[in-house]
A and B are shown apart, each in its own frame.
Chain A
Amino acid sequence: METKEMKVMGVKVYCKGDLGLLDEGKVRLAIVGSRKMTDYGRRVIEKQVPVLVQAGVVIVSGFMYGVDQAAHEVCLDCGGETIAVLGWGIDRGLSIEDEKLYEKFIKGKSLMMSEYYGEAMAEQWMFVQRNRIVVGLSAAVLVVEAAVKSGTMTSVRWAKKMNKPVLCVPGLITSKVSEGANGLIKSGEAKMVTGVEDILEVLGLKPGQMKLGGVPHQSVQDDGDLTKVRPLLRWLENEGMEVDRLAKLMKRSASQVMVELTRLEILGQVEQRGGKFYIV
């Protein structure tokens, strides 16, 4: 990809990709969070990003593993537009783990940018500076899982400086990577997000004013019907479980539960991650 030099908000940056994503008319949202994302964080992203993409929101993040990459990936997977602001030189080679995502960037509607030229090495302070651009580009900042002392908190500080709204997804109070996010909600610095509607509202995109199509809203009734036919789903409504736990709760043999889980997997109703099964 060709590297272009340009000025964004008075800062010189190097860009690769679709510069159209920087258009004034686009609504951009920064999604930031921990590198130690948990399954919960991933689920939050998987649930909300597709809806945001449908509403035409451009997802901005920092291409770091964890929440950043999950946000980019989910966004690109459902055909959305995304901007990655790098904390290192624009031409720096990527590690093998990042290659796959980079390929998706090339194929999808995306833009990569960095303040740093060539193959500059990443330094701690660069990430903090990078966050300033992530926030600057976006209309609002969504925090998904953040520890008290973390890079995510610097993004929040930048947002306050620039007077941008901060949104927070609450996490489990027992989880360390949720302490920062929950703290922001508690202190009133951030607006609590419990559903994608909250984000759309802050971005000025009420559910009624969809740019593209409508939000696939899961009605309670649908779920009710499905759990009648597939009782296993009821057990997974609140949390992911292993086969053994399901077998015990349902009073079935492990092999019977596995058979049912495969059927549900094939129907796309559940998925398996790290030995646990979750409702998609």
Chain B
Amino acid sequence: MLVRVRSVAHVGLTTIPVEVEVDVASKGFPGFNIVGLANKAVDEAKERVKTAIVNSGMAFPDKRITVNLAPADIPKEGSAYDLPMAVGILVASKEVEWSDEDARAVYYGELGLDGKLRHTKGGLLVGLWVKKSGSTSEQIARKQSVSDEKPCVFVPVESANGVAVVSGIEVKPVRDLVQLVEHFKGDKKIKSLNNIKSTDLIEAAAVDFDMAEVIGQEQAKRALEIAAAGGHNVLMVGPPGSGKTMLAKALPGILPFLSEEESMEVSRIYSVMGLLGPGEALVRRRSFRSPHHSTSMAGLIGGGSNPRPGEVSMAHLGVLFLDEMAEFPRTVMEALRQPMEDGWVVISRAMGRMKYPADFMLVGSVNPCPCGYLGHPKHECNCSFRQVARYKQRISGPILDRIDLHVSVPAVEIDKLTVSSNESAQKSSQIRDKVMGTRERQTKRFSGDGIYTNAQMKNKQVKKYCQLGGDAERMMRIAAEKFAVSARGYFRLLKVSRTIADLDESEDIAERHVAEALQYRIKVF
């Protein structure tokens, strides 16, 4: 008998339907074959499915079993086909009968040898696809009633939360094969999981550090506030131990909360990467990725023979922190230029061409010299002039040119650290409120421009929204000459001035806003 079970495959971030055809033949030698470009993980499903069925106290047919994963020309990988195969074998061998309703559902999940279902990555994408394909032409062709029936999906109980955030579908959490068989028989139906409201989940999630915990460094904090408010990239220059990493880690705490839409976008990437743990539904806070400087180009940008997202995509709508930026290989750094400009990356490999979102905020940190102590009040720097000059050349001009805010983070004096109270310091939550207010202003301003933040402004918009008047214009003109500001640098200064004015709740960019922006120009590095 032939049985068709519906399932899905992920190609990059897109999901395509896969039909798992299971045939249990009445003739032929007993055997188990999987066809349809299955990789090793899929092929090994034979052993898992067989053992799981036997260990669940059911009979595994000693007949010739053929499984076809259609469409047969797309490579399949992963362990999510375990469940549809097991269901197909049980139904095809007449171990159990299923209703038409259950036959229309989608099955997705990995099996353990004991018959229990395991957490399987990619759940969210399955949910989104099931919703989209609610009433497929295929079902209409089968002339089955699809009137008010919600599309239904069976997934492992541990992955169910990640699917249930999608509204308008029925999510059936399956614990093990025995439970599923009872459901088919109608003895004990599996209850659908309630839809999880994503807004309930996106709330203040704790961050590693609060800005108030960072002692001193008022200038750097102010720079991060501006960066968060306008979505600007930042470079911090300072000796080791001055708090650059701590400041960067505190940054997600002052960034605006993820919106429902944004959270979904980030969660898709995390889901397909298997970064959402068992029971987790959505990514609730902005990601903070800090790849080590030994990270390869494929690791940072994305890659592999079957292209997977890299760090830039995992930092989507969050922060990409490059600690010791001068230590990153130059080729890897240069590869960041395109995603920094466009907000996405396209990775082309033998197995296909994938486009992944990569709209991140770059935060870099560098030492002023190889030993790190150039200009340190107590520590002597033992680098030669040449070494320092060479070190400074390690970060290319085009990358520096794409960083709006350059700030020096000086060494903190030890006696300051012992002062327990830092009463004047602003809490992350206070700064975040200001940042969110500023973002609202920007959203309103750019409603017709297809951008969200000041940092995203193109020259045309800069000319439109960053008009300088009187004093501000005069200051900009003198400064441009005195500090030899390039054309790109000029636009960058205007964008930063715009954000500072927004933080000041001022519609016009005043002289003081320009003056402050000028302090973040490229200088130290």
Contacts and interface: CB of A to CB of B under 8 A. Distances in A.
A254 B524 contact: no
A247 B219 CA distance: 9
Given A262-B519, A275-B410, A275-B524, A247 B386 contact: no
A265 B482 contact: yes
Contact of B519 (A95, A253, A258): A258
Contact of B385 (A97, A176, A242, A263): A97
Interface in B282-336: none
Nearest to B225: A255
A3 interface: no
A35 interface: yes
Interface string A241-267: 011110110000111001111110110
Nearest to A37: B385
A260 B515 CA distance: 8
B482 A266 contact: yes
Interface in B9-35: none
Contacts of A272: 523
B219 A274 contact: no
Nearest to B217: A244
Given A65-B385, A95-B386, A275 B518 contact: no
A39 B377 CA distance: 11
Contact of A274 (B374, B478, B500): B374
B364 to A, nearest CB: 16
Interface in A213-270: 242-245, 247-248, 253-255, 258-263, 265-266
A154 B400 CA distance: 43
B230 interface: no
A244 B516 contact: no
A66 B375 contact: no
A248 B374 CA distance: 23
A97 B389 contact: yes
Contacts of A104: none
Residue of B368, B479, B519 with most partner-chain A CB within 10 A:
B519
A254 B222 CA distance: 7
B216 interface: yes
A276 B519 contact: no
A95 B221 CA distance: 39
A262 B515 contact: yes
Nearest to A35: B385
Interface string B383-421: 011100100000000000000000010100000000000
Interface size class of A (residues with CB under 8 A): 20 to 34
A176 B378 CA distance: 12
B410 A244 contact: yes
A276 B221 CA distance: 17
Interface in B338-387: 368, 374-375, 380, 384-386
Contacts of B516: 255, 258-259, 262
Contacts of B410: 242, 244-245, 275-276
A275 B478 CA distance: 22
Interface string A45-86: 000000000000000000001100000000000000000000
Nearest to B510: A259
A263 B217 contact: no
A259 B219 CA distance: 12
Contact of B408 (A247, A248, A265, A275): A275
B475 interface: yes
Nearest to B479: A266
Nearest to B368: A274
B512 interface: yes
B237 interface: yes
Given A66-B385, A254-B218, A274-B374, A266 B475 contact: yes
A259 B518 CA distance: 8
Given A97-B389, A258-B519, A275-B237, A253 B218 contact: yes
Interface in B486-525: 500, 512, 514-516, 518-519, 523-524
Contacts of A266: 475, 478-479, 482
A259 B512 contact: yes
A242 B260 CA distance: 42
Contact of A35 (B217, B221, B384): B384
Contacts of B475: 262-263, 266
B216 A244 contact: yes
Nearest to B216: A244
Nearest to B223: A254
B217 to A, nearest CB: 6
A77 B73 CA distance: 72
Given A35-B385, A243-B219, A244-B410, A176 B380 contact: yes
B519 A242 contact: no
B219 A254 contact: yes
A69 to B, nearest CB: 9
Contacts of A263: 475, 515
Nearest to A258: B519
B385 A243 contact: no
Contacts of A260: 515
A42 to B, nearest CB: 12
Contacts of A253: 218, 222
Contacts of B222: 253-255, 258
A253 B219 CA distance: 9
Contact of B375 (A97, A176, A275): A275
B219 A244 contact: yes
Interface string B62-82: 000000000000000000000
A16 B385 CA distance: 26
27 contacts: A39-B375, A66-B385, A242-B410, A243-B218, A244-B217, A244-B218, A244-B410, A247-B218, A248-B216, A253-B222, A254-B222, A258-B515, A259-B512, A259-B516, A260-B515, A262-B519, A265-B518, A266-B475, A266-B478, A274-B368, A274-B374, A274-B524, A275-B237, A275-B375, A275-B408, A275-B410, A276-B410
Given A261-B519, A265-B518, 16 more contacts: A65-B385, A95-B386, A97-B386, A247-B219, A253-B218, A253-B222, A254-B219, A258-B222, A258-B519, A259-B512, A262-B479, A262-B514, A262-B515, A263-B515, A274-B368, A275-B408
The list of the 8 closest CB pairs from A to B, nearest first, reads A275-B408, A254-B218, A262-B515, A274-B375, A258-B519, A259-B515, A243-B219, A65-B385
